[in-house]
Amino acid sequence: MNWNLEGMHVEGYYLDGEIPVSGIVTLSRVQYGGDICHSIRLDNGFSCYKGAISREAGGTVIVDHKYITKVKDAN
């Protein structure tokens, strides 16, 4: 799998594998230390931990590459 997923639709897990998310990758980058992360514009919102952490559909989260489980062309 290529590390640059910009423009691709992905599924994966946010917060170290805790919260399933899906959406379009808007930015893929190399972090300090060499790990890869992706900014994902969410298809669907979520709320967890009694609302302590929530994002609306269209919001963005950053997901480490190792937590990406599925990649497909956004078209």
At 13-28, the pLDDT tens digits run 999 888 999 999 999 9
- DSSP letter string over 41-56? EESS-EEETTTTEEE-
Looking at residue 49, its pLDDT comes to: 72
User: Which amino acid, 35?
Assistant: D
Domain boundaries, the chain: 8-73
Question: Residue 6 half-sphere exposure, CB side, CA atoms within 13 Å?
Answer: 6
At 3-62, the pLDDT tens digits run 999 999 999 999 988 899 999 999 999 999 999 999 999 999 888 876 688 899 999 999
Q: What is the DSSP letter of 67?
A: G
* pLDDT category of residue 69 using cuts at 50, 70 and 90: very high
Looking at residue 1, its pLDDT comes to: 62
CATH architecture classification, 8-73: Roll (2.30)
Positive or negative, the CA dihedral 39, 44, 50, 52 is positive
